[in-house]
Structure 1
Amino acid sequence: MRAGDLGTSGVRVTALGLGTAQLGDLYETVTQDRATAIVDAAWDAGIRYFDTAPHYGLGLAEKRLGLALHSRPREHYVLSSKVGRLIRPGSDGEPTRRWDFTEAGIRRSIEESLERMGLDRLDIALLHDPQERLTDALDDGLPALVRLRDEGVVDAIGVGTGDMAALTAFATRDELDAIMIAGRYTLLEQPALTEVIPAARAAGISVLNAGVFNSGMLAQDHPGPDARYEYAMAPPQLLARARQLADHAATAGTTLPRAALAYAARDPLVASVVVGADSAEQVVTTAHMAQDSRPLDGLWDALVALGLIPA
């Protein structure tokens, strides 16, 4: 599978990456066997970039991913996790999330992620949802990641969020190697094109495009009334827009999911499109669509003419 560079970091990620929120029981309980089957299917499809976070299932996704990757040669894949949330016991003894963008907190977060995964190295560290503590993330978290990269603890650094204000604040920071845009640069909506993408291009920052199915709405050939958006029921106006896109994709001889993947990867600034999966079969289907090279220029022209995507 084709690979792309993350800024000038030397880290190369496959054009399709596997996100692991589903491994943390996002929508339903996932067994370790099922998680391993998902990762195995991704590996067999040529995917060598895996993204996770402590936030996903309170560390459960990291544990399951680590077990699934345990037999794979560590030098043969790229791994990213996120910092800014530590998993700590709550007042009732149950694990809970605690914000911490201090350098000590970020170092501890990486150590604990590696412990959960049973691995000895993290390639990419991303500040997770920094909009919740934006000043702390900019003033403390970013310099801490720069120092960790300088020390060789990680090879590349960045930020991951779907918040436009936070993405805009970080897209001009040329200290970063990558920004992970979650659900804001998709076939359904493209607010990141206004400021974030131009700023990242000027700063030499690569894009990891995640959430490109908008919580699964664009993963269906014809989105039904139970379609999700932002992990909740889709608003009627967005569902109607997705159905328009699906109709035009069918007219162009393709499907909505394939068009969504192709659109998300169009810009050369996008180093990897990161998608989740809740089954091995879903991984195989997504990989086949992502590697389908048939041109969709006629579809893009039609959607531009209708004002459904920008020129």
Structure 2
Amino acid sequence: MITAAAPVRIGRTDLFAPRLGLGTAVLGNFQQAISDEDALAVIGRALANGIRYLDTAPLYGHGLAEQRVGRAITQVPRDELIISTKVGRLLREGAPPDDSQFHDGVPFYQDVPSAGPVWDFSYDGVRRSVEESLDRMGVDRVDVLHLHDPDNHLAQASSAGCRALRDLRAEGMVQAIGAGMNNSAPLAELVRACDLDVLLLAGRYTLLDQTSMNDLLPLCQERGVSVVVGGVFNSGILVNPTSGAQFNYVPADNEVLAKASAIQSVCSRYGVPLAAAAVQFPLAHPSVCTVLIGPRTVEELDMDLSLFDVEIPPQLWADLRRDGLLSDDVPTPQ
């Protein structure tokens, strides 16, 4: 079972990551508000099932996710956990709306506190962000710290931001430093510019989208940088690729929907749920240390965990290659 697999070293650090972790964006009211009680129930169930890697960020629910993580982990010894959070946005009252956090005029995060995110990858801004995250979670340290979505702020993130991360690592405030984004090309730039240990790559190394094989993943192998993969279901289309399914947090276009449906057809020949193939696929790559799941409910969590127990015959992957749905150079589970 994946959750029982031996942990994998993160980069060249002394930190070892479990193969499965819990992402908390949806627990910060992403696209739908949920109660504190329901969010805490999901985290509690994950902890009870042995999940010890929790990824969060100030952006997620404008602090809600970090607060909920902090409340949920009080009964677990801190040394048993790996907590990752992110920097690059400070939560401030009166923050102007960020267009990147809206679709068709609707904010991605629902029913959130009034303090909104303000971009800041400066040296002091990064350090303030960490202090505020520690306060929200009620912990004295985090294990992994990522620059969060610096796509349009690469100059500052790769200079002052990276310097702040390196100093925090040297001071022992964090053990591993990295960056988390949805796009592989700017992550590759940061790998070249900064001394990073790990990346969080969301949605760009999945059963549907392996564009990161073109630039990022070979570079990570070359430099010994680990990769945590999020967004393995590509916003849900790799669970149920029907009309209206989302890809990249918005409705999928016909081409993407057709490819996802074709992958599902191959899985169906072998009685394998599409979601099981999606969640197991990324771990075959030698640079990938951890896959994050992001359930909204306890029932979704239980379903996600069960997907790791599904046996997938090698011929399924061979059929995907034969049908042109996977490239020959993409590693697949054995």
Query: What interval of TM-score do these two structures reach, taking the shorter chain for normalisation?
Result: over 0.9
Q: CA deviation at 1:173?
A: 4.9
What's the secondary structure of 1:219's corresponding residue? coil
CA distance in 2, matches of 1:296, 1:104: 51
2:252 is the counterpart of 1:234:
yes
Which of 5, 10, 16 is matched with 2:9 structurally?
5
Q: Report matched runs for 1:212-223 at 5 Å.
A: 212-220=232-240, 223=241
Q: Give the Cα–Cα distance (whole angstroms) in 1 for the partners of residues 93 and 275 of structure 2.
A: 40
- Equivalent residues of 2:28, 2:63 under 8 A apart: yes
Distance 1:31 1:123 in 2: 27
Q: List per-residue Cα deviations over 1:189-220 (Å, max 9, x = no partner).
A: 10001110000110100010111110111123
Aligned-partner residue type, residue 240 of structure 1: A
Residues 85 and 174 of structure 1: is their aligned pair in 2 closer, same or farther, counting only changes over 3 Å? closer
Quote the Cα distance in structure 2 between the aligned partners of 1:9 and 1:66. Answer: 25
Structure 2 residue aligned with 1:137: 157
Name 1:267's counterpart in structure 2. 285
Structure 1 partner of 2:28: 24
Read off the aligned partner of 1:13 and give its amino acid letter. Answer: A
User: Could you tell which deviates more after superposition, 182-191 or 112-121?
Assistant: 112-121
- Any residues of structure 2 matched to 1:135-284 within 5 Å, and which? 135-173=155-193, 175-220=195-240, 223-284=241-302
Distance in 2, matches of 1:162 and 1:5, equals: 23
CA-CA distance at 1:39 after TM superposition:
0.7
Q: Structure 1 residue 303 and structure 2 residue 307: aligned?
A: no
Match of 1:77 among 81, 84, 93: 81
Structure 2 letter corresponding to 1:105: G
Q: Are residues 301 and 173 of structure 1, via their aligned partners in 2, closer, same or farther at CA, if it must alter by over 3 Å?
A: farther
Does the 8 A contact of 1:129 with 1:161 survive in 2?
Answer: yes
Aligned to 1:104: 124
Q: Is the 8 A contact 2:158 2:194 kept in 1?
A: no
- State the 1:174 CA deviation: 6.5
Separation of aligned partners in 2, 1:248 and 1:172? 38
In the aligned structure 2, how far is the partner of 1:295 from the partner of 1:232? Answer: 29
Asked if structure 2 preserves the Cα contact closer than 8 Å seen for 1:16 and 1:290, the reply is no
User: Match of 2:287, as an amino acid?
Assistant: L
**Residues in 2 aligned to 1:110 and 1:18: alpha-carbon distance in whole angstroms:** 20
Determine if contact 1:209/1:273 at 8 Å carries over to the other structure.
yes
Contact map agreement 2:184 2:215 (CA 8 A) in 1: no
CA contact (8 A) 1:20 1:50 kept: yes
> 1:193-250 deviations in whole A, cap 9, x for unaligned?
1110000110100010111110111123xx2212111111111111111111111101
Residues 182 and 201 of structure 2 are in contact (CA less than 8 Å); yes or no, is this contact kept in structure 1? yes
Matches of 2:44 and 2:313, distance apart in 1? 30
The alignment partner of 1:308 has SS state of: coil
- Equivalent position to 2:72, from 41, 63, 68: 68
TM-score, scaled to structure 1:
0.95
Judge conservation of contact 1:172–1:203 (CA < 8 Å) in 2.
no
- The separation in 1 between residues aligned to 2:119 and 2:208, in whole angstroms, is 31
Contact 2:185 2:215 in 1 (8 A): no
Contact 1:173 1:203 in 2 (8 A): no
- Whether contact under 8 Å (1:167, 1:196) holds in the other structure is yes
Q: Note closer, same or farther for the CA distance 1:308–1:116 as it changes in structure 2 (3 Å cut).
A: same
Segments of 5+ residues of structure 1 without an aligned counterpart are: none
TM-score w.r.t. structure 2 length? 0.89
Q: Could you tell me the percent identity over the aligned residues?
A: 38
> Cα distance, 1:14 vs. partner?
1.3
Long gaps (5+) in structure 2: 97-112, 329-334
Structure 1 residues 91 and 66, CA gap change in structure 2 (3 angstroms):
closer
Q: Distance in 2 between the 1:247 and 1:235 partners?
A: 18
Assess if the C-alpha contact under 8 Å between 1:186 and 1:214 holds in 2: yes
Match of 2:141 in 1: 121
Of 136-145 and 173-182, the range deviating more from structure 2: 173-182
Separation in 1, partners of 2:148, 2:27 = 18
